[in-house]
């Protein structure tokens, strides 16, 4: 099996953070969804995306997914962060 290159890792992160579904990114790049998940959670390809702060784009994506009724755990898996980070962000969101 071929190794995933740094360029592929960067492309996976760019596309997922832009809002593409992980399964679609995996298919487009010819890698498994598990590889995409590993890249986004930090198990592969560098520092973890679970720790630290969320970008404005990721925050917007979390709010968008939450508005559809998706669970916090599913949102966390989709954007590559923890359920706790999703919960914290959504609690900060003004009531409306």
Answer yes or no: is 47 within a domain. Answer: no
Answer yes or no: is 64 within a domain. Answer: yes
- Determine the pLDDT at residue 23: 93
Residue entry with tokens 């190794």 = 3
Answer yes or no: is 34 within a domain. Answer: yes
For 23-47, the three-class secondary structure string (H helix, E strand, C coil) is HHHHHHHCCCHHHHHHHHHCCCCCC
If asked whether residues 10 and 36 sit together in one domain, one would say yes
Instruction: Count up the domains in the chain and report the number.
Output: 2
Smallest CA-to-CA distance from 51 within 91, 22, 84, 10 is with: 84
If asked whether residues 36 and 60 sit together in one domain, one would say no
- Determine the pLDDT at residue 51: 46
Residue 72 sits in which domain range? Answer: 56-92
Answer yes or no: is 50 within a domain. Answer: no
Cα(63)–Cα(84) distance, integer angstroms = 14
Answer yes or no: is 1 within a domain. Answer: no
Tens-binned pLDDT, residue by residue, of the chain (96 aa) = 467 788 888 899 899 989 999 999 999 998 888 888 888 877 665 544 444 567 888 889 999 999 999 999 999 888 888 888 899 889 885 644
Confidence (pTM): 0.47
Find out whether 33 and 20 touch, Cβ atoms under 8 Å.
no
């Amino acid at each position: 099996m071929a190794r995933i290159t740094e360029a592929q890792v960067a492309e996976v992160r760019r596309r997922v953070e832009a809002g593409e579904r992980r399964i679609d990114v995996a298919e487009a790049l010819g890698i498994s969804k598990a590889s995409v998940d590993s890249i986004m959670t930090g198990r592969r390809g560098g520092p973890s995306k679970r720790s630290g702060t969320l970008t404005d784009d990721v925050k917007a994506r979390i709010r968008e997914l939450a508005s559809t009724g998706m669970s916090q755990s599913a949102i966390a898996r989709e954007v590559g962060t923890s359920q706790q980070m999703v919960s914290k962000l959504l609690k900060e969101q003004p009531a409306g």
